[in-house]
A and B are shown apart, each in its own frame.
Chain A
């Protein structure tokens, strides 16, 4: 007890050497990991005393955390359906803004000869990894297959898009349906095969400040920053499409 009290008492003493910082917590879809980490850092540079922390994960899982009362200031989802559930639960401060879109691509192991065109993913003997239909990237993949009349037989339906990419990177899967930004972020660890453009398979990324935020004005500023000109520049460099 005494120990705990001493420990608690020393915490403010340690941080008092720095100026008091405000922490903004952002819950964001895992496909935003690279871009948002960079943008968060940029925002901190132009806003001294503000610290932006991220929690990246599957959009639906994050939405459930919010519904269960997870403390956060901003939410960015990889699906407008997911954002709508959060909005309908009355957790948003105003309407969400779409700030980017993302299209699918097929990731393949570098130098793959098995899969060279999009229809190759449905060939027998090709181990294909996709996202499970329950998560947005899986729903998008199904929309793509339906629109292109392809009926592949996946070897696995992973729980999120990064797991699909990992299976391809490790060479366990001959192909994986992921977002084009995931392929870009993986660099030379995977190759890619383009897929036909299908409107219904394009993911929309909405962002909004949360009504539970203790720093509403600052949260709005961060939303404006992430969906603004600089944000768009960083996101498009990573392969995202403009909000359209």
Chain B
């Protein structure tokens, strides 16, 4: 049955849709397409794109390795513990990224309280960019996977246990398999978030072309001098993000399917 849309709901929905769509149109209309080829073959731009892709991919892999187990632990925890853990996980998600960057400096920076823990991911290094991006993007993966694990039918796990399957095998062969859709969806969200990361990165890792300058940082700085250049970079970022989402949509991300 087709439901009739109440006019007030339709109006509000239209405003919401336009609010999201119009700025994208504004961007696309103003892009100086004649300069696009020059900009995207620019050595510095390619460097920034490479750093962006490598760092976002690394942040996603790290998030998978530590995030899926974290989600599993939260999903299997007692309700009281789970509430606390979930709140802690959500903090980086709601924190302004610049604050996240400052927190990272105070922790892993030269004078940080844990400056020896990750000596390879110090400020001003490419690994520092990965650290900043992971800090910001990891919660998205954890939240997505945890929801799927909790929605999972527990009887399968019990049946496997009675058949003699150990905890590690059940984790690998039942839980991971059952939540594979959420794991891929969470990874895509995680990658997209890492790709767009700006505040934590520039605060913690700084900005050095060829080392820590990601595409969003290059875009922001280009805006200082050459708006046209910044517009082309913006579209480049938009295209890369869309490729990630569209590429995974059909097969993998249930939330984006019709």
* Complex alpha-carbon distance, A155 and B111, angstroms: 17
**Chain A interface SS verdict (over half):** loop
CB distance from A114 to the nearest CB of B (A): 12
Residue B223 CB within 8 A of the other chain = yes
Interface residues on A, range: 20 to 34
Chain A, residues 154-170, CB within 8 Å of chain B (1/0): the string is 11111100010001001
Hey, what's the 0/1 contact readout for A125-165 against B, CB within 8 Å counting as 1? 00101001011000000000000000000111111000100
> Are A132 and B221 in contact, CB atoms less than 8 angstroms apart?
yes
A58 at the interface (CB under 8 A from B): yes
Is there an interface contact between B221 and A172, defined as CB atoms closer than 8 Å?
Answer: no
Chain B's closest residue to A67 (CB) is B227
Q: Which of B208, B222, B224, B227 contacts A155 (CB under 8 A)?
A: B208
Chain B interface main SS type: loop
**Using a Cβ–Cβ cut-off of 8 Å, how many residues does chain B contribute to the interface with A?**
21
Complex contact B207–A172 (CB within 8 A) = no
Q: Is the CB of A156 within 8 A of B227?
A: no
Verify if A71 is at the interface (C-beta below 8 Å from B). no
Contacts of A134 in B (CB 8 A): 221-222, 224-225
Residue of B nearest to A63 (CB): B224
Which residues in B have their C-beta under 8 angstroms from that of A155?
A: 124, 206, 208
| Alpha-carbon distance between A12 and B238 when the two chains are bound, in angstroms | 44
Q: Which residues of B contact A159 (CB under 8 A)?
A: 202, 207, 220-221, 224
Closest A residue, CB atoms, query B225: A134
CA distance A171 to B123 in the complex (A): 11
With A155-B124, A157-B209 in contact, do A172 and B224 touch (Cβ < 8 Å)?
A: no
Which residues 212-237 of B sit at the A interface, judged by CB distance below 8 A?
Answer: 212-213, 220-225, 227
A60 within 8 A of B: yes
Is B110 close to A, CB under 8 A?
Answer: yes
A61 within 8 A of B: yes
Q: What chain A residues lie within 8 Å of B123 (beta carbons)?
A: 156, 167, 172
Q: A159 vs B221: C-alpha distance in the bound complex, in angstroms? A: 7
Our pick among B109, B110, B223 for the contact of A64 (Cβ within 8 Å) is B223
A64 to B225, CA, bound (A): 10
14 contacts between A and B (CB under 8 A): A58-B224, A64-B223, A132-B207, A134-B225, A135-B221, A135-B224, A157-B206, A159-B221, A159-B224, A167-B206, A170-B111, A171-B109, A172-B110, A172-B124
